[in-house]
Amino acid sequence: MINKTVPNVTQALKGVKNNMTLLLGGFGLCGIPEKAIAELVRLEVMNLTCISNNAGIDDFGLGLLLQQKQIRKMIASYVGENAEFERQMLSGELEVELIPQGTLAERSRAAQAGFPGFYTPAGYGTEVAEGKEVREFNGKMHVLEKAFEADFGFIKAWKGDEAGNLIFKGTARNFNPNMCGAAKITVVEVEELVSAGSLDPNQIHVPGIFIQRIFKGTGYEKRIEQRTVRSKT
Amino acid sequence: MINKTVPNVTQALKGVKNNMTLLLGGFGLCGIPEKAIAELVRLEVMNLTCISNNAGIDDFGLGLLLQQKQIRKMIASYVGENAEFERQMLSGELEVELIPQGTLAERSRAAQAGFPGFYTPAGYGTEVAEGKEVREFNGKMHVLEKAFEADFGFIKAWKGDEAGNLIFKGTARNFNPNMCGAAKITVVEVEELVSAGSLDPNQIHVPGIFIQRIFKGTGYEKRIEQRTVRSKT
Amino acid sequence: MALDKNGIAQRIAQELKHGYYVNLGIGIPTLVVNYIPKNIDVEFQSENGVLGMGPFPFEGDEDADIINAGKQTITTLKGASFFDSSTSFAMIRGKHVDLTILGAMEVSETGDIANWKIPGKMVKGMGGAMDLVASAENIIVAMMHTNRAGMSKLLKSCSLPLTGVGCVKKIVTELAFLEIGPTGFILLETAPGVTVEQVIQATQGNISVANDVCEMSF
Amino acid sequence: MALDKNGIAQRIAQELKHGYYVNLGIGIPTLVVNYIPKNIDVEFQSENGVLGMGPFPFEGDEDADIINAGKQTITTLKGASFFDSSTSFAMIRGKHVDLTILGAMEVSETGDIANWKIPGKMVKGMGGAMDLVASAENIIVAMMHTNRAGMSKLLKSCSLPLTGVGCVKKIVTELAFLEIGPTGFILLETAPGVTVEQVIQATQGNISVANDVCEMSF
């Protein structure tokens, strides 16, 4: 067993520098790497390119990096929950590339799996396809999309073992598995870190080979964006 | 919940006809759809194109279809375990297309996921790339490979529920998950069929949406190709 | 009398068929779950990674790790499953999802749809909508027929940046149920109390009236 | 005295480094597991879908559902995982596997490799070999230096259909440890009792001798 554990978030983020490109898991505030984001704020690394489905809200998630103006460019699919984001984007302070959600997932997986490019129908005939190659297959037009290239990937899992094997919970899974191994260094934070052999080999969502560093985070806030309930009557 | 269960293998293979293209899961004899293969033999459907990593052995797996000369064309990555296969291939009775194993897996997944094509480095500069488009990305040559098109997919899972959710065991997983949803109709046989709600939604390997029919097989032989052991001393 | 949002959802729900996997967009489409016809089984997929979505949780049972694409806390039903985003879009792009219901700012007579951006003013992003409309064989748009200024949103061609080209099949508005045909919109049903003339007036794109046009029945 | 298969495996094992994920081909490469250096941790990946392979099972413990790429029954170690073929080749193609050790029928002085087909005679197929050699940064070939007729298998250019182009980095044969350099094979180490001259004689491709050429030490 190859041990991937590091003692804390500081060790986990060693080597993160200005101008880097980061992949960050999560959908809305669900399954985001809270501890890595807090450390990025503390490190004051600037001029980042962040690839993540959303940009957080004003005071949580990637919104914390936006507040400090640490992000130069954001690649996302949906950014509708963040007023500061909209302000920076419309003023031109922040460069923004919006791409289809499925394309975002697959460009991550392509990087993980060593595919330089693939053809998808998503975005054909729209702004998204501008400047990209398009091509017909079986009578339908497709766009050539390319694998992401990133320096660090920040992943949030539910449970992990010393070997870096991961299990996610509910919809907190989302982009996290697809981003594992998609950057040069993949850093995972987990709520529960167990010894190798504790997890059923048949039920691992992401094998440890895709990750370089794993640490246990504490005190997860897991903020809910839209608390919707029904009454018990 | 959408119920995908059918009572038996006969119902499960309804609609299989001569000249069809079939995807079959399994690696060697591990995780092969034993019951579907037996039914294909019984149905005497001829002139099949079979896509599967291997071609079975002389008297088991796809070897049973080869014996009856039901296969016109075989698409596989490794066929070294089957003398009858080699005879039919060298004599020209059987058309054979050998492709890299990773390409076989991904052409299945591309069909499942709606990608018409993707670029892989595997096979560049070899016979496999002949007649295919090649292209450079990041200074390295790649081959354009296309999604499979198949009529039926035959899958073997360990457990499944009424909704078609699947769990595989050990290395019997192999190509099975990638082939689910890759053909027009995906038929799954399982050792254990449980009611919907019995499986942990977090631990499903393949969601039921990718499959059309599921049935419980009985009396699995699960033949071992290479029984290797060590002594207890 | 024009339909309200619930009425639109109710009419769309009539298009559900037994065995359908359905992806519901944010807004009016979400309301469709309240009007599923009796005696049919459908399953709802949410692109953030869940199949078999159930109702909102009881108060106190909310789980931050279990949400829908609108970021709302939800529950799951028997037979549900969770999966990653790549698998979720495999379901969508691979045409395993049978029906997509989503909102729109504009739809053109050729089935183009715009719903993600108003240049210089509002840019929320396309989320999963571009993947959905590019792949789904069966797309129903739930939208208002006109904007607040009374201008038609069913146009000859969209003025806003497109989400997809020639993809919309059916449209339900507060005034009518329409489909896209070779020559433009086809009026199939009017909302209760709405006249054919009213629908034609409110439609800027080319519109024809089906021979068997009738009033919606609920 | 030339090495036997175990000797070849033992020399290759010296190339393993702490933290390596390793894919072993069928044949001689399989024997490498018996010579892993003390004090380093490595993990073995098998392309049929397992990481963390252990030794063969005890008699009676064989499980038909747990095999390696050679279709042999195996066990798993702590920290192991099972996965599908697409994920397995994501590990390989995505360069997450650090070292690939495989057999060959022929290797050329430019690092081409042929190991899957003898036209008209034998066609077993490439299995995962084409994916492995096209992607791995670090490939060691375990092979015999000459065939039964005494003809060299380290050639100017391969005569058999290729498995991959310009990909082989290192070669261990019964006679020598060599690497591929810009001008062809470079002899780094001779097997115990084998002379530099013998290796040069047995090599048809262009071969040069490293300044610090030495005998293998075990």
Residues in A closer than 8 angstroms to B168, CB to CB, are 202
Residue B232 confidence (pLDDT): 78
Residues in D closer than 8 angstroms to A209, CB to CB, are 21, 43, 45, 51, 91, 96-97
Place of tokens 């698998």: C87
The catalytically annotated residue of D15, D47, D109, D174 is D47
Summarize the confidence of residues C191-199 as an average pLDDT. 97
**Partner residue facing B116 (CB), from A106, A138, A169:** A138
Q: Which residues contact C122 (CB under 8 A, 6 or more apart)?
A: none
pLDDT tens for each residue of D139-158: 999 999 999 999 999 999 99
The answer to whether B54 and B190 have CB atoms below 8 angstroms apart is no
One-letter identity of residue D146 = T
B194: β partners? B161
Contact flag C59-A98 (C-beta cutoff 8 Å): no
Using a 10 angstrom Cβ sphere, with 0-12 exposed, 13-18 middle and 19 or more buried, the burial of residue B170 is buried
Place of tokens 């149920």: C177
CA angle B46, B51, B57 (to 5 degrees): 80
Residue A232 confidence (pLDDT): 79
Summarize the confidence of residues D97-115 as an average pLDDT. 97
The catalytically annotated residue of C47, C106, C109, C189 is C47
Helix (H, G, I), strand (E, B) or coil at B17: coil
Residues in B closer than 8 angstroms to C76, CB to CB, are 201
C-alpha dihedral, B126 to B129 to B133 to B137, nearest 10°: -50
Chain A residue with the nearest C-alpha to that of B120: A115
Residue B83 confidence (pLDDT): 86
pLDDT at C122 over 90: no
- CA dist C119 and C162 (Å) reads 11
Mutation target vs B (from D71, D93, D108; most B CBs, 10 A cutoff): D71
Contact flag D96-A165 (C-beta cutoff 8 Å): no
Return per-residue pLDDT of chain B as tens, 233 residues: 999 999 999 999 999 999 999 999 999 999 999 999 999 999 999 999 999 999 999 999 999 999 999 999 999 999 987 888 988 988 899 999 999 999 999 999 999 999 999 999 999 999 999 999 999 999 999 999 999 999 999 999 999 999 999 999 999 999 999 999 999 999 999 999 999 999 999 999 999 999 999 999 999 999 999 999 998 76
Residue B81 confidence (pLDDT): 79
pLDDT at C26 over 90: no
pLDDT at C190 over 90: yes
DSSP code, position A210:
G
The answer to whether C70 and A226 have CB atoms below 8 angstroms apart is yes
CA distance D180 to chain A (A): 24
Number of H helices, E strands in chain A: 6, 11
Q: What percent of chain A has pLDDT over 90?
A: 93
Give the number of beta-carbon pairs within 8 Å between B and D: 188
Chains C and A touch (3+ CB pairs under 8 A): yes
How far lies A33's CA from each of A22, A217, D62, D92, in Å?
Answer: 12, 9, 41, 27
Domains contained in chain B, CATH given: 9-114+149-196+203-216 (3.40.1080.10)
Q: What percent of chain C has pLDDT over 70?
A: 100
pLDDT at A233 over 80: no
DSSP labels, C63-83: -TT-B-TTSBB--EEEEEEE-
CA distance B142 to chain A (A): 8
The answer to whether B82 and B66 have CB atoms below 8 angstroms apart is yes
Q: Which residues contact D49 (CB under 8 A, 6 or more apart)?
A: B27, B171, B173, B174, D82, D83, D84, D85, D87, D88
pTM score = 0.97
Contact flag C135-B163 (C-beta cutoff 8 Å): no
Tell whether B108 lies on the interface with D, counting CB pairs under 8 A.
yes
Contact flag B114-C83 (C-beta cutoff 8 Å): no
pLDDT at D1 over 80: no
Residues in A closer than 8 angstroms to D98, CB to CB, are none
Chain B residue with the nearest C-alpha to that of C80: B201
pLDDT at C208 over 80: yes
Residues in D closer than 8 angstroms to B77, CB to CB, are 125-128
One-letter identity of residue D17 = K
Q: Which residues contact D76 (CB under 8 A, 6 or more apart)?
A: A201, D50, D52, D53, D54, D66
Tell whether A142 lies on the interface with B, counting CB pairs under 8 A.
yes
* Band (C152; pLDDT cuts 50, 70, 90): very high
- Helix D85-93, helix A101-113: angle, nearest 10: 70
Q: Which residues numbered 142-201 in B keep a CB inside 8 Å of some CB on D?
A: 158, 168-178
Q: Which residues contact D134 (CB under 8 A, 6 or more apart)?
A: B100, B120, B121, B122, B123, B124, D93, D164, D167
Residue A90 confidence (pLDDT): 85
Chains with 3+ CB–CB pairs under 8 A to A are B, C, D
* Band (D160; pLDDT cuts 50, 70, 90): very high
Chain B residue with the nearest C-alpha to that of A118: B118
pLDDT at D11 over 90: yes
Contact flag A117-B137 (C-beta cutoff 8 Å): yes
pLDDT tens for each residue of A153-168: 999 999 999 999 999 9
Residue C174 confidence (pLDDT): 97
pLDDT at A15 over 80: yes
pLDDT tens for each residue of C35-71: 999 999 999 999 999 999 999 999 999 999 999 999 9
DSSP labels, B149-160: -EEEEEEEEEEE
Summarize the confidence of residues A207-217 as an average pLDDT. 98
CA distance B145 to chain A (A): 10
Chains D and C touch (3+ CB pairs under 8 A): no
* Band (A80; pLDDT cuts 50, 70, 90): confident
pLDDT tens for each residue of A177-189: 999 999 999 999 9
Backbone angles phi, psi at D183, to 5 degrees: -110, 10
Contact flag A116-B203 (C-beta cutoff 8 Å): no
DSSP code, position A129:
G
How far lies C148's CA from each of B38, C27, C152, C193, in Å?
Answer: 65, 17, 10, 21
pLDDT at C120 over 90: no
Tell whether A101 lies on the interface with B, counting CB pairs under 8 A.
no
Contact flag B118-A120 (C-beta cutoff 8 Å): no
Chains with 3+ CB–CB pairs under 8 A to B are A, C, D
Contact flag C81-B165 (C-beta cutoff 8 Å): yes
Residue C46 backbone class (left: φ over 0; alpha: ψ -120 to 50; beta: rest): beta
Summarize the confidence of residues D175-204 as an average pLDDT. 97
pLDDT tens for each residue of D18-60: 999 999 988 899 899 999 999 999 999 999 999 999 999 999 9
Chain C residue with the nearest C-alpha to that of B194: C79
Residue B172 confidence (pLDDT): 98
Q: How many CB atoms lie within 10 A of CB C26?
A: 18
Residue C109 bears catalytic tag: no
Average per-residue pLDDT for chain D: 96
Average per-residue pLDDT for chain B: 96
CA distance C205 to chain B (A): 32
How far lies B77's CA from each of B35, B99, D158, in Å?
Answer: 23, 5, 21
Mutation target vs A (from C58, C65, C82; most A CBs, 10 A cutoff): C65
Summarize the confidence of residues D175-180 as an average pLDDT. 98
Residues in D closer than 8 angstroms to A109, CB to CB, are 90
Tell whether A87 lies on the interface with B, counting CB pairs under 8 A.
no
Closest Cα partner for D210 from D192, D186, D190? D186
Residue C102 confidence (pLDDT): 96
